[in-house]
Structure 1
Amino acid sequence: MPLRRIYDHEFVYVISGEGEIIIEGQAHPAHVDSLFLILPRVWHSFRACSHQSITLLGVHFDWVPQADSLLFPVFRPADEPVEESLFRVPRPLPGWDLHTLPFLDLKGRSPVRHALEAVVMEYSRESATARLAAGALLAATIIQITQESQSLHHLKVMPPLGADAMRRLERARALLETVGEASLSIEAVAAHVGWSADHLRRVFRLALDTSPQKLQRAARLRYAKQLMRHENLPISTIALRCGFEDASHFTRVFKQDNGLTPRQFLALAKKA
């Protein structure tokens, strides 16, 4: 791939293969589940390892300040922002210091990949409504990436956790974010990684500043929203697929988190 200069922001997610990304002359390893953020006016290129190919998912977007305290992603044809970007100071995304962390290793954290794939799929529909939806999905993805970055930072700087404990914590997190009708209980996840449920809760609180229950609930609600947007399923079926006891339990939790019932969310999604 030839070296080039890009004038908008770019997320690049490594789907498969191994290689390197060269950013302003400095090489960084690019392996499966690596996520890179390229800022405007930054020279970069990708290079696959010998005898291998590398598959990348790229999302270009323009991150434009609209007010002193608010930032919004704006979708426009690729050639429009080029000239004005020449005169605009590159603006990093909140919570991601590229000088100390040029990429995120998101192995075992598939929701970010799925979210970026949803942005690309929505945008490819090429309608004004789809582009608005893609923008909203991208904004939500940026928030999720920021949260992943912060949790990874907590894991790396927390002194009481050794390498083995970090591996167990990452495994527990991956299990809790695996959504389905047979998703594991907190006690089962703790037993799977060799901890008690109380110890798992304690480590989550210290390392991630959250609880296993909250993490699992957030993963279930994200998946439920995906099903409501893209599948024509009854609320009761969605509730069971996402690991909730029944439709009433799902409705109660969903409204607590979103301020809307699932049916109200569905109605808005159909209008979009």
Structure 2
Amino acid sequence: MNKQISILGTGWLGLPLAQAFIDQNYTVKGSTTSISKLDSLQKEGISPFLVSLTESATKGSINAFLEESEILIINVPPGLRRNPDSNFVAKIQNLIPHIENSSIKNVLFISSTSVYADRLDYPVITTESLPDASHNAGKQLIAAELLLQNTISFKTTVLRFAGLFDERRHPATMLSKRKGIKNPLAPVNLIHREDCIHIINRIITTNSWNHIFNASSPNHPAKAAYYGAVCKKMELPIPDYDYDTISKGKIIDASTMEKVLEYKFIKDLISR
């Protein structure tokens, strides 16, 4: 088995993911868009590469980054909140020829459950549910997923994560500062970073390619009740909600992923 992995994007999730694979004696190549981070990646035992996805080309040491690896993990968020006019689909389209011309056999694309729209009836979303996002970011993720899945020179597994959190970075911190928050009665869909890392590891160790997985904690409390409890535990102000507007939401069902990967979640939603 080839024990080398290339991880495109070594930020909040990608860095501890790389460290987890290093602990399993993998050789890990990690990309960053910042020159200043190259040394810090090297100190963590990661072979660092400067790679940037743009709408016109994939820039940097992309070929050396992919060289001799059979697995590529694409862990690059669309970044459309900061730059709503960005074309993420074009960035993935420019990346694909480099993957095709490399030694990569399997691609794991980290996507998001935002590809599914929120509804008034809180539908249960399974991997058989058709993505139906109405907003730009979700639509671009759907298109990017299809580009990778329809490329026959490598196998692609799409992993759609719910909202990510850990003990230091929790959505409650941001919500506690806001007023008039929408959808207070909608179900919560979150997943702890540690579960994300373990799920990615299971996909690779079980050789589970050409799949689509939804990944969210099996618990789905109402938004207002949940974040109120978390903020109380974190000693933060309780968020203010808009109860005048009807709540929309969804319930992300991860049972297919749990069954195929024989995975059991290790973190609950309140983990402080």
Q: Tell me if both proteins adopt one fold, taking TM over 0.5 as the criterion.
A: no
| More relative contact order, 1 or 2 (CA 8 Å, 6+ apart) | 2
Larger radius of gyration: 1
User: TM (normalized to structure 2)?
Assistant: 0.29
Looking at secondary structure, tell me which structure has more helix per residue: 1
